Amino acid sequence: MTDTSTASAGSVPLAPRAWPLLGHALPLLRDPLAFIMSLSGYREMVRVRLGPSSAVMICDPDLTRQVFLNDRTFDKGGPIYDRIREVIGDGLSTCAYPLHRRQRRLCQPSFHPSRLAGYGAVFARAAAAKAGSWRDGDVLDVTQEMMTLTTRATMETMFSGALPAETMQRCLADTAVIVSAFFRRMMTPALLRRLPTRQKRRYDDARTRLAATIAEIIAERRADPTDHADLLSTLVAAVDEESEDGRRQLNDAELADEALTFFLGGMETTAITLAWALHLLATNPDVQHRLKAETDRVLAGKKLDPAHLPSLGLASRVVTETLRLYPPAWMMTRVVREDAELGGVRFKGGSTIVLSPYLLHRRADLYDEPDRFDPDRWLDAQPDRATYIPFGAGARKCIGDQFALTEAILALTAIVDRWALTPVGDQPFQPKVETSLSSRGLRLRLTERRSSGAGDAERSAAAPLSASVQPSTQPGAAACPVKHGK
């Protein structure tokens, strides 16, 4: 960069192939990942245009971290969050800086390690039940299967008692409609978004129905406020002791926003992480073989349990490596609240900044053979805070990171213990880029493994899930072997 002390954001180099009027909208819509990776030659930042507006994409890990850590100036905002806010209002993940600290204090107890151990037991049972529902030779729609698994597990951990199957199905269908519409709506100009198309009606209906279902569940819980040892109980009981009167709690509207935030934020991200992990195992049979050996050794015929987590080192590395290669939140946006300087460039208030874990995770100067699936790269290395950011960083770092890791590691273990996975067809499978890096359309073939004694225990665990989440008597028992620092 030339005279960095005086450069303005307008002087940041513009990415090539900008069309008049459209800017980079076409390459971004046609093949977003190829477009993002074509920018990896820019070491610090590059400007991208979407129609009349432009955004600066940060390509450097240290500058990315500065943005994450200074959330007062580089606040949640920009096209992704504007669309997400349409659905979940000012929930924890979308609220602006002035509201955030209070919301985070109120939500944090729901993810306390003492709660996680109880959630882990639900995850283990849900995974065993899912793995027990398949048949030898099945070809799975992997993403759909993982979505039903994580929806069920999220519902159980959030709302304890098993919801009626019909409610669960409705939530799942509505969530799928909302999630698949996000990216399209993000890229569509405001005027076109308001047109009364069939797609818009489906999206609006799904949004209204899902919000009504959550509101119903909250009303029931208000009527019976005993501790159900689930996420909702903790949210209902949370008190902000740092508020003016020391007694501030979430009202019904805020509770609904938070419940929707956790539901939408946690379910799809974890499902696609699992789907990608299964894809990577199917296409890397040597790693799959070693993972099966790990499950045999650790389970040794016993039922899967959160207490096994510290021994599931390879499963944990597989998840870490999957999140490096396919970070569901492949890009994030920030809005600059007031004029600010970053990396020697002056940004005007209102500018949009784009951060991309996908770009950083695949940079050849940061990772050896960045496109290769190699869980063992994490054998002696902890994920680096600046270059490994699947959960973001700083005060806005994912509140559900340990929740998701616990769920993913237990689910992978349950599945690989019982099933061998192979690809269907010989075409390489490509991500469908939406708001998240979707694995939609991924199919894998299952072959039942017959050698392990552990399968019997798992089969008997494939019974319907029990009604409630038990709180742990061992705080931290579900601690994940992978730690993602702030």
Residues engaged in binding ligand HEM (CB under 6 A): 92-93, 104, 261-262, 265-266, 269-270, 273, 328-329, 332, 390-392, 396, 398-400, 403-404
- CB of 323: closest distance to ligand HEM in angstroms? 6
Residues 6+ apart with CB under 8 A from 246: 239, 240
456 class by beta-carbon count within 10 Å (0-12 exposed, 13-18 middle, 19+ buried): exposed
* Distance of alpha carbon 396 from alpha carbon 408, whole angstroms: 22
Smallest gap from Cβ 158 to ligand HEM, in A, equals 8
What Cα–Cα distance (Å) separates residue 371 from each residue in 104, 150, 210, 263? 35, 27, 38, 31
Q: How far is the CB of 463 from ligand HEM (least distance, A)?
A: 25
Q: Which residue is nearest to ligand HEM (CB)?
A: 400
Tell me which residue has tokens 């849900």.
126
Angle between helices 401-418 and 454-461 (to 10 degrees): 120
Nearer to ligand HEM, 278 or 299 (CB): 278
Nearer to ligand HEM, 61 or 392 (CB): 392
Per DSSP, 14 falls in state B
Question: Which C-beta is closer to ligand HEM: that of 329 or that of 411?
Answer: 329
**Least distance in angstroms from the C-beta of 261 to ligand HEM:** 5
d(CA 65, CA 57): 13
Q: Least distance from C-beta 330 to ligand HEM, angstroms?
A: 9
SS3 state of residue 391: coil
In 3D space, the residue among 77, 17, 24 whose CA is nearest the CA of residue 49 turns out to be 24
Tell me how far, at minimum, the Cβ of 395 lies from ligand HEM, in Å. Answer: 7
Among residues 328 and 383, whose Cβ is nearest to ligand HEM?
328
- Closer residue to ligand HEM (CB): 328 or 431: 328
Considering the complex, what minimum distance in angstroms separates the CB of residue 270 from ligand HEM?
Answer: 4
Least Å from the CB of residue 427 to ligand HEM: 26
Q: DSSP character for 287?
A: H
Nearer to ligand HEM, 238 or 446 (CB): 238
How far apart are the C-alpha atoms of 372 and 375, rounded to whole Å?
9
**Four-CA torsion 420, 421, 425, 427, nearest 10 degrees:** -140
Residue 393 to residue 383: CA distance in whole angstroms: 12
**Is 152 within 8 Å of 123 (Cβ atoms)?**
no
Shortest distance, CB of residue 452 to ligand HEM, whole angstroms? Answer: 27
Q: Is 472 exposed, middle or buried (0-12, 13-18, 19+ CB in 10 A)?
A: buried
Nearest to 179 by CA among 156, 163, 202, 196: 202
Nearest residue (CB) to ligand HEM, 27 versus 61: 61
Q: At closest approach, how far in Å is the CB of 367 from ligand HEM? A: 18
Task: With residue 447 as reference, give the H or E element that holds it.
Answer: strand 443-448
Q: Which CB sits closer to ligand HEM, 104 or 377?
A: 104
Q: Measured from the CB of residue 136, what is the shortest distance to ligand HEM in angstroms?
A: 29
Q: 411-428 burial, b for 16+ CB within 10 Å, e for fewer?
A: bbbbbbbbbbbebeeeee
Using DSSP bridges, classify how beta strands 7-8 and 345-347 pair: parallel, antiparallel or unpaired: parallel
Strand arrangement of the beta sheet that strand 45-50 belongs to:
45-50, 53-58, 352-355, 332-336, 74-76
Nearer to ligand HEM, 27 or 383 (CB): 383
Return the number of the residue (262 or 419) whose C-beta is nearest ligand HEM. 262
Residue placing its CB nearer to ligand HEM in the complex, 23 or 328? 328
